[in-house]
Amino acid sequence: MSGGADVGTQSRPSPPHASPRPGEQQRHGAGASHGETTTDRGDAPSGRKGRRNRNRRGPASKPGHVRPLAGSEPPSAAQKARAADQALLHKPAPAKLHAPRPAPAPAADRPRGPWDFASDDLYAALDLGTNNCRLLIAQPTRPGQFRVVDAFSRIVRLGEGLGATGRLSQDAMDRAVEALRICASKLAGRDIRRMRLIATEACRAAENGESFLERVTAETGLKLEIINRETEARLAVSGCSSLVGREARSVVLFDIGGGSSEIAVIRIADNRSSRLANHITHWTSLPVGVVTLSERHGGRDVTPDVFEAMTAEVGDMLSSFDCPDLALGADGIPEDFHLIGTSGTVTTLAGVHLDLPRYDRRKVDGLWLTDAEVSAMQAKLLSWDYAGRAANPCIGPDRADLVLAGCAILEAIRRRWPSTRMRVADRGLREGLLTDMMADDGVWRRGRSRRPQAMSQTTPQTTRER
């Protein structure tokens, strides 16, 4: 999650069902619930109680005499007089006429007060990449943080075959549209204050990228924007800002994607900005990702020679990146410096390092790995064949042919910027989008971060930004 987002992707729990009041039965359909038995209220009383009631009915009627039904006898004059008096006593007072109450202004038009950023305001971010389609819906909490209300992620491989043909294939577009329909359904089911939906390298590079997004709008109602590489780099930094410690003076953050890899060099002075992206001094976007690199070199059967060839290709791209070297300390390593990796590659390495029986974001996000640990995990993955990688619960068959291409990109970055440690981030563009939208709306300003609980009933604004 972004900016130190609260851990967890569970939706808000539904309110519990009300318990039946004493003496009241809770029913499902026509039967009684919880094994309760029912009795007909018209059953005649029995036992002593019945005999006691019979004694209260007065003397038995004479044979042949029929007692008139109550109310069937004509009222006497005295009864008529008493009824008239009662009617006068209980005559209702005339209704007071009030001026009609003006209808409340729509939430979108209502001016917001200093506490009017409701805790239930929802924001949404969607990232359609070369390999994945991801959605997050969240609400702001403490300054710089938010709680995920709903999430969706699916591997769609939109960029499959793009490197060879320059176009998005029909099958890949169909997979992406199917995933986007699910996202559209999730968004339509909630009041979203603001949203941003983006597409990255696959749609940027494909000849038919724009026409594909027109199809997406026609079939799902979602209007996605293609962002440029600089925006993508800045969003990756915004999404990971809380993972940069106060002691850090320089950081290289990288996002290994499916079709491109963004790298940002961050230098932090004493006057640290609340937006980490303001400290980016240099950035680059390499036109290579796990999908494109694995398709060029083969991702199933990766030998040490193939791995080195992939690393060398990425290293050549990095050599043209015009960025001054970081100032070195006495040990030959930049002072107060570390790497941050945000991608499926580094989270997979972390999961394998922890030997997780299944991937657990809570244990992976924010994890520190030493340089030796990263090297050991890369060597371990390189020693496994395709079947061994696919069998690992933190990799699986969907990533088994991509993970070593990602490790090769990571290795080239580590050779360019040696570091004693790397921090793992299970977060990225979606979290950056959410962080930026919430910061732009001022939800974390002092006195505006959250409203008191008693004021939390105001209807949230539903302005949508597409």
For residues 126 and 151, is the Cβ–Cβ distance under 8 A?
A: no
| Residues 342 and 294 grouped into a single domain | yes
| Residues 267 and 362 grouped into a single domain | yes
- In tens, the pLDDT along 203-249 reads 999 999 999 999 999 999 999 999 999 999 999 999 998 898 778 88
What is the model's pLDDT at position 312? 98
Residue 449 lies in a domain: yes
pLDDT(46) > 70: no
Q: Is the dihedral of CA 26, 28, 33, 36 positive or negative?
A: positive
For residues 201 and 258, is the Cβ–Cβ distance under 8 A?
A: yes
Q: Enter the tokens of residue 351.
A: 């999961």
Residue 98 lies in a domain: no
Q: How far apart are CA 195 and CA 151, in angstroms?
A: 14
Q: Enter the tokens of residue 160.
A: 């499959």
Residue 274 lies in a domain: yes
Residue 302 exposed, middle or buried by CB count within 10 Å (0-12, 13-18, 19+): buried
| Residues 274 and 422 grouped into a single domain | yes
Residue 146, classed as helix, strand or coil, is strand
Residue 159 domain boundaries: 114-238+429-456
For residues 352 and 373, is the Cβ–Cβ distance under 8 A?
A: no
What is the model's pLDDT at position 120? 74
Residue 317 lies in a domain: yes
| Residues 381 and 369 grouped into a single domain | yes
Left if phi > 0, otherwise alpha if psi is -120 to 50, otherwise beta: which for 221? left
Question: How many angstroms from the chain centroid is the CA of residue 2?
Answer: 10
| Residues 183 and 299 grouped into a single domain | no
Residue 38 lies in a domain: no
CB atoms within 10 A of CB 347: 21
Residue 375 lies in a domain: yes
CATH number at residue 184: 3.30.420.40
Residue 314 lies in a domain: yes
| Residues 297 and 253 grouped into a single domain | yes
Q: State how many domains the chain has.
A: 2
- How long, in residues, is the chain? 466
CB atoms within 10 A of CB 424: 26
- In tens, the pLDDT along 86-138 reads 544 444 444 333 344 444 444 444 444 444 444 578 999 999 999 999 999 99
Query: Poorest-confidence range of 23-37, 64-78, 317-331?
Result: 23-37
* Cβ-proximal residues to 190 (8 Å cutoff; 6+ apart), any chain: 122, 124, 137, 149, 150
CB atoms within 10 A of CB 204: 19
| Residues 218 and 302 grouped into a single domain | no
| Residues 120 and 231 grouped into a single domain | yes
Residue with more model confidence, 89 or 392: 392
Residue 380 exposed, middle or buried by CB count within 10 Å (0-12, 13-18, 19+): middle
Residue 40 lies in a domain: no
| Residues 273 and 405 grouped into a single domain | yes
pTM: 0.69
CATH number at residue 266: 3.30.420.150
Instruction: Count Cα neighbours of 260 within 13 Å in the Cβ-side half-sphere.
Output: 22
- In tens, the pLDDT along 263-297 reads 999 998 767 777 888 899 999 999 999 999 999 99
Q: How far is CA 459 from CA 43, 119, 187, 196, 462, in A?
A: 51, 11, 17, 21, 9
Query: Poorest-confidence range of 55-69, 147-161, 317-331?
Result: 55-69
Q: How far apart are CA 440 and CA 301, in angstroms?
A: 47
Nearest to 359 by CA among 410, 403, 311, 421: 403
Q: How far is CA 422 from CA 249, 337, 341, 347, in A?
A: 15, 9, 7, 11
| Residues 276 and 411 grouped into a single domain | yes
Instruction: Count Cα neighbours of 224 within 13 Å in the Cβ-side half-sphere.
Output: 34
| Residues 406 and 437 grouped into a single domain | no
End-to-end CA distance of the chain, in Å? 21
| Residues 266 and 166 grouped into a single domain | no
List Cβ<8 Å contacts ≥24 apart for 160-165. 160/291, 161/295, 162/130, 162/202, 162/205, 162/206, 162/259, 162/291, 162/292, 163/292, 163/295, 163/296, 164/295
pLDDT(48) > 60: no
For residues 278 and 249, is the Cβ–Cβ distance under 8 A?
A: no
